[in-house]
Amino acid sequence: MKATAFGISLGIFMPGYLYAAALETSNQSIASFLQPDHYAEFSTAIIKAKISGKTYRPASNNPSTSSEISTQNFANTFYISNLALKLQVHPNWSFGLIYDQPFGTDIGYALEPISTSPADLVNAVDFELDTHNLTAVFGYQPNLSWNLYSGLSYQTLDTQLKISGQSMGILADYVADTDQDSGLGWLTGISYQIPEYALKTSLTYRSKIRHQPQFYEQTFSTPAIPALNLSFKQPINIETPQSLNFEFQSGITPRNLLYTSLRWVNWEKFKMISPLMSSSAPTSVNLVDYQKNQLSATLGLAHIFNEQWTGALDIGLDSGIGNPASTLSPSDDYYSLGVGGFYNLNSNLFIAAGIKYFSLNKAKVEQDQDGSGSLFGVLSSVDNNRAVAYGFKMGYRF
């Protein structure tokens, strides 16, 4: 029995979503576009994380001194989805549309107000960022083995941010949000396959996408202090990062398939700068930035049980982005273990589901943090944090 008998392809078994470094929520796989003939796919995932640590809080009887306390979980559950359509419009030409949500976060964290502090301040963060991508891909297949493809990506981005608390170095609430902004990027890649051996490999480059949304910033203090009650409106530059994906699969026995993926993401270039805070500072104040680029890898094995059922197991790792520990970056890399299953309802329709567990490694603690993520709350220690992703996928060949 050949591994190709059931249309097995890299990326079908496991949810293509990660609890990865920085703001990444999707591995931006091109696997759906490399399916044979006409193909449609829907997938969704739920990500639940347990992330906490210890931070400093001003003492209730003396706000100028701090004590160490445990935080609550500050990562909210979030949901992401993917849609894909691939059409083989000619034996040598194909066209595809892929919708995904590649970057995002949802952090919510608050401690009780300090009733005796001058402004009744609360140590809190609320940070949400959403992106939506629609990619159109054109492919040229000069023969059965090679596929050369390129395309354009239309991306929208919006974000909301609120920071409060003396322990974060400010004496007022800070609120910022952007209008939804759109930008264009591009991708290009090459794929090689030998169908009779279930061998398929691809290399895909995606460009950065530049956004220039209108950025609204305000600070509030209670009681009102004019010097701390400010507002600012100005366009800012946000560039979602360029990336490089390598994906590989091969049948190793008639019933077993090996698959792997490698991904590089250029997070060093990503920044969100506050024009309001930077106006009175000697250097630019970064709301969000990252210290190094991300490398991640997955290695998996799929086994065909019969014509209906296939199972898969994979392991993964991520290099992290080098930021010191804060409520925005409590972990710096991870190890993962995933289990998935694939069921053919008939020759054209399949469903797949999987669960992936992430062990989040601790970021380096810097007691006098002044830099990346410092506005999001210095952590004096980091707990053994974890995340779980539950994924479901349905595919139809026609």
Range with the largest mean pLDDT of 33-42, 63-72, 224-233, 314-323? 33-42
> What is the pLDDT, as a whole number, of residue 290?
86
Question: pLDDT value at position 180?
Answer: 93
The rounded distance, in Å, linking the Cα atoms of 100 and 34 is 16
Instruction: Assess whether pLDDT exceeds 90 at residue 201.
Output: yes
Q: Can you give the pTM of this predicted structure?
A: 0.89
Buried b / exposed e over 320-341, threshold 16 CB at 10 Å, is bbbbbbbbbbbbbbbebebbbb
Identify the bridge partners of residue 337 per DSSP, sorted by sequence position: 315, 357
Considering only CA atoms, which of 375, 189, 177 is closest in space to residue 289? Answer: 375
pLDDT value at position 323?
A: 78
Question: What mean pLDDT comes out for the span 108-116?
Answer: 60
Longest dimension (CA), the chain: 76
Residue 113 has pLDDT above 90, yes or no: no
Q: What is the mean pLDDT of residues 121-131?
A: 76
Closest CA to 149 of 10, 34, 7, 26: 34
Q: In the structure, what pLDDT confidence band is assigned to residue 1 with cuts at 50, 70 and 90?
A: very low
Q: How many CB atoms are closer than 10 A to CB 219?
A: 21
- Measured in degrees and rounded to the nearest 5, phi and psi for residue 220 equal -130, 145
Of the listed ranges 114-118, 147-151, 237-241, the least confidently predicted one is: 114-118
pLDDT in tens, 322-372: 877 776 777 778 899 999 888 999 989 999 998 999 988 877 777 554 555
Q: What is the pLDDT of residue 222?
A: 60
- Give CA–CA dist 262/29, Å, rounded: 11
Query: Is the pLDDT assigned to residue 239 strictly greater than 50?
Result: yes
Express each pLDDT in 53-109 by its tens digit: 777 666 655 656 667 777 778 788 888 889 999 999 999 999 999 999 999 888 777
Examine the pLDDT at 6 and tell me if it is beyond 50. no
Q: Which amino acid is present at 344? A: N
Is residue 349 within 8 A of residue 396, CB to CB? The reply is yes
Give whichever of 76-80, 278-282, 304-308, 319-323 has the largest mean pLDDT.
304-308
> Are the CB atoms for 342 and 352 separated by under 8 Å?
yes
More confident of the two residues 360 and 14? 360
Give per-residue pLDDT as tens, 132-186. 999 999 999 999 999 999 999 999 999 988 777 654 555 567 888 999 999 999 9
CA dihedral sign, ordered 63, 68, 69, 70: positive
Q: Residues of the chain with pLDDT > 90: what percent?
A: 41
- Between CA 127 and CA 329 the distance in angstroms is 12
Average pLDDT value over all residues in the chain: 83
| Per-residue pLDDT, 7 | 45
- Burial of residue 228 (CB within 10 Å: 0-12, 13-18, 19+) is middle
Percent of the residues in the chain that have a pLDDT greater than 70, as a whole number: 80
| Better-scored residue on pLDDT, 367 or 7 | 367
Domains, the chain, ranges and CATH? 3-61+76-160+181-212+240-397 (2.40.160.60)
pLDDT of residue 301 exceeding 90: yes
